[in-house]
């Protein structure tokens, strides 16, 4: 069920027949989607509730956390796909597909990160005006 949900989201933005079929068949959409979602939720929570210092109430610091989130998500996406393709013995040259999918995943995660930020920023005592 979750694999179908994440497949719909990802394939709406990026679809490559053989690559997408492998991601769907082995439930990698679900694994990548949940991992991406958890990271995109965790880092705004860390920024707004644990860092939460007046010195960090600037757009630069919020962008830095967003970039850190994107790097973690990008590396985890590549690692999850590469590892699972090796374990499942999926052959083929999917390098370009992995790069394109990872970029799309980072863009989706950035939008999700921003929405989470807007939703929780008012509960922060010091960073409630960041980013907007």
Q: In a 3-state reduction of DSSP, which class is residue 40?
A: helix
Residue 72 pLDDT greater than 80, yes or no: yes
CA–CA gap between residue 29 and residue 6 (Å, rounded): 6
Q: Give the per-residue pLDDT at 13.
A: 92
Q: Average pLDDT in the 47-60 region?
A: 84
**The total number of residues written for the chain in this structure:** 132
CA–CA gap between residue 106 and residue 34 (Å, rounded): 13
| CA-derived radius of gyration, the chain | 16
Q: Average pLDDT in the 55-69 region?
A: 89
Name the packing angle between helices 95-120 and 28-45 (round to 10°).
40
Helix (H) or strand (E) holding 117: helix 95-120
């Amino acid at each position: 069920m979750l694999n179908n949900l994440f497949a719909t989201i990802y394939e709406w933005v990026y679809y490559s027949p053989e690559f997408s079929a492998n991601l769907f068949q082995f439930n990698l959409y679900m694994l990548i989607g949940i991992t991406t979602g958890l990271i995109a939720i965790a880092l705004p929570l860390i920024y707004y509730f644990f860092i939460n210092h007046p010195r960090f109430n600037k757009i630069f610091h919020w962008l830095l956390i967003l970039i850190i989130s994107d790097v973690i998500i990008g590396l985890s996406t590549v690692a999850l796909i590469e590892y699972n393709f090796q374990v499942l013995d999926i052959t083929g040259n999917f390098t370009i597909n992995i790069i394109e999918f990872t970029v799309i995943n980072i863009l989706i995660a950035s939008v999700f990160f921003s929405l989470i930020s807007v939703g929780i920023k008012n509960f922060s005592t010091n960073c409630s005006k960041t980013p907007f």
